[in-house]
Amino acid sequence: MRDSLTNLIKAIKGTIVMNAQLEGVYNAMASSEIPPLWKKASHPSLMSLSSYMADLYERLAMYTHWYDNGTPTVFWMSGFFFTQAFMTASMQNFARKSKIAIDLVSFDHEVMKEDPKKYAEITKGPEDGVYTRGLYLEGAQWSAEAHCLIDSDPKILYTTSPLIWLRPMLTAEIPKRQVYLCPVYKTADRRGVLSTTGHSSNFVMDIKMPVDCDPSKWLRRGSALLTQLMT
């Protein structure tokens, strides 16, 4: 980003030749869009350029705070470039601690009762796994009183997800209960391509969300969790 902007300034001044890549950066910025050159090395995003830059600064602030102050108690899931690697690392820590094969470990998901807006008040992380925040519900909303998914309010497209505990456990020991396997996507586009690692560029994981009815209701409504909005 720094190099492309520096070269774009030089090209506008006439000190270097304006090429197709720099012209693409200029045209995208003029339209308040993310330049194609940046998208190649960036996380998927449907945001406008101004929202994208604000999001980028927030991501950098998260990593700076992590570096300066140590491991956070609640992780901002939306801030990771490769979320699957973060989840794998959490499972590896549990597997090494328990001295079991990681192939026998999966995540159980526990929706926390704490207010997601007050995540900073949580001073201690879980013994196993991680607390996460920063997701958005589409096609449903979370009821703290009923502790389950409920219908969205009229004209409300997105709502803030509750804090979620990604808890690694032996797959055979995960309790059976009525849940909706809610897919998590990086963007509302809900599509992606398979990378060389075998992971989708958009799909992250399924999270078990408690429900009080047949889970197929939320499947038909296309309810999902998103790491970011379009605004």
pLDDT for 198: 72
The whole-number mean pLDDT for each consecutive block of 10 residues of the chain, a chain of 231 residues, reads 94 93 95 93 91 94 95 94 92 95 95 92 94 96 95 93 96 94 92 74 93 95 92 71
Domains of the chain: 2-39 (no CATH), 49-226 (3.10.490.20)
| Phi, psi angle pair for 116, to nearest 5° | -60, -25
Structure-block tokens of residue 77? 């899931």
| Helix (H/G/I), strand (E/B), else coil: 217 | helix
Paired sense of beta strands 74-76 and 136-138, if any: unpaired
CB atoms near residue 161 (< 10 Å): 26
Half-sphere exposure of 199 (CA within 13 A, CB side): 15
CB atoms near residue 64 (< 10 Å): 10
